[in-house]
Structure 1
Amino acid sequence: GPVLGDGRGILEGAHPLMRRGRPRFQFRIMLLWALATIGVFLGETGKGKLQDPFDDRLDLLEKVYKAGVDAQCEQKFEEACQHFEKAYNGHLSLLGNTHERTLQSLYALSQNQAKLGKLETALRNVETCRDIRRTTVGDFHAETIKNEYDIIALKSRLGRYNESLEEANLLMKRVEKEYNMTVLPELRGNLLSSLNRTDEAESIILSQIQRLESCRKDVNLTLDDPYFEPAEMNISVLNCYCGLGMACRRKGNYTEAAKMFEKAYLGYKALCGPHHSLTLQVWGNLAYTRMELGHVDEGERIFREIVEVYRNASNGGKNIVHCNAEGNLGVCLLHTEEDARRREGVALVEGALRGLREIHEMPDTHPWILKFKCALESSVAVQGNRTSSK
């Protein structure tokens, strides 16, 4: 019969570990306990690992966040948004809404939403980051100020120029002693230009170019500071040339504007590549200005290339700059004499207006909407005159 005959249960006697009696069973239990103890010890000393489920989830979220960064670098902004949203929700659940990792995920999400033209959503998310950081790290923390800057830039893109300029001036006063904010003068210059205060804009941007050029020459002093890294300096100077081009165009000086845009375009192309969003945007500005100078065919050619780049990168969707590029191509075609090209132009401008209003919720007061509406109205008037003259 079984070794254990004292009636303590059939299962005990029948278990394989028990068939040869209690001593063997106790030895195996001790062996398992020893192995577990060694495992815990090795895990704590870093030579082995018994991973905490909490850490497992954090590691997984880091991989999701990294996938978002990779997608963003490849300018796959829709895919990046999906990764960053997943990372944000995970960090929010694990760490809470005030943790820096949660805020970083939300900020990255907002950056890519802005790239897709979801400006209102991006603005709300950056405002959330800013409001939380004000309470956790304070108004003068670098991350809080970065959020403030992005809020101003997004409001500017939404056409809220007066509000943006007022906030930019306040931010400038608040941080000029604490931080060397090289980007603020560029932004203020562009805002003043958008408000047709072009002389003030030119003055600010020209002094900014001189300041940046002098910083850029002093390479030995700037290499240790990532903010003054030479490539960043170059980008800032190019941003200023773009801003000068905008100011010149608003003053009606299209020839000088085209020179500034071309300078910026060639610089962006060399630094960032031909298909980078900065390169494409300033190339579009150059094309539009060349069209205004009467070079309609050149404008059409450039905008067709830009639209093709966006189309190939969009996976069927249309982001805000894609809509704008198609609308600009349409405006070029409205300046031609051929009826077929003009009809294509009308369709493109109408499509751009629909996309900007419905997909991107752009207000009717935004300069892009006004530009396309004006182009359509002018086209209808010109067409009417042609019909009546026949």
Structure 2
Amino acid sequence: MQTGFPEVKKKLGFGAMRLPMIGEKVDLAAFSKMVDLFLSEGFNYFDTAHPYLNGESELALREALTSRYPREAYLLANKLTAPYFDQESDIRPFFEKQLQWCGVSYFDFYLMHAQNLGNYDKFQRCHAYEAAFALKKEGKIRHVGLSFHDKAEVLERILGDHPDVEFVQIQMNYIDMESTAVDARRVYETCLRLHKPVIVMEPVKGGSLVKLPPKAQHLFDTLQQGAYPKASNASYAIRFVAGHEGIFMVLSGMSTLSQVADNTSFMKDFKPLTDKEKRTLDGVVEVFSQLDAVPCTACRYCIEENHCPKKIPIPDIFSLLNSMRVFNNHNANFYYQNVVTANAGKASDCILCGACEHVCPQHLTIRKFLKEAAATFEEPKKG
């Protein structure tokens, strides 16, 4: 399948949603170095959205990227997100603000953000797709696409309604391929069948495929004892998705210079996984299937835009719950009490309103998991 995007230099894109921070602001000095390295290694695709870091992602890209490099040096993707418009007339003013925040006169790629059955009717009612294609005709958008978090049938409906959509961004990684919640395999196959080029997000599942359970890590360590060179866990995850047909871009939400260095090192001259590496990944998947982990990607949609009235740091709590469940990491107790919930809501503060579950791309039963977290970290130990 031809992607039709010759301006894309390489298959790795910089997702600007987990940037280095100083308080509530992006560490621009650190981020600028990351941008410099990424570009110097021959990569040029950057991805943002207004909800990322509460608007700081767009501003950071203006300071670290668009004000420092000529426009032809990079490709910039942004998104139209449901909370920022209520009617068709809201879309263009918001889009123009995004251009200003990012410091550009056009976006190379513009996506209808986080499409699912719950928000698609709003995009339809407000003629959001039509607005984006009108902006494309004006030269303010080069390519119109969508990012997607739902079942394959929903994607087929959307693409049937809007066959001119040029690409689809989906969640896909070696764990979620057979997930009934994420439906990654069927969604990916729908893109192929309808001839839509694919961008992959969450290839390392929000970092969950970087620090692995001991049994899974042993499989990679054993692989590298032979003829295979030392490689990061992230490299196997990213190469897994990048090797699939029809995928022209894999996004990685990098937060350190070392992550940029690692990812660019193996994607600069990309090589798909070997059969032996694929068999090793199958073993890692089997290890994960035997664990009782919360499949949270830390996208933070559940707490952005004041979705949680009790200010519960849901992704951070789930990360600690997984640390306890998967790694038996008892430091999680300390971090829960003294770091994560020190100035925020606790899991037990949940009022069961369900606002978080309504916006969760993974369709997690968040309220149930919060109850389990409260039992794990807050109930006094007996004995």
Q: TM-score range by the shorter chain?
A: 0.3 to 0.5
Say which structure, 1 or 2, has more relative contact order (CA 8 Å, 6+ apart).
2
Scaled by the length of structure 1, the TM-score of the pair is: 0.33
Q: Which protein is richer in strand relative to its size? A: 2
Q: Computing the radius of gyration over CA atoms, which structure comes out larger, 1 or 2?
A: 1
Provide TM-score, normalisation by structure 2.
Answer: 0.33
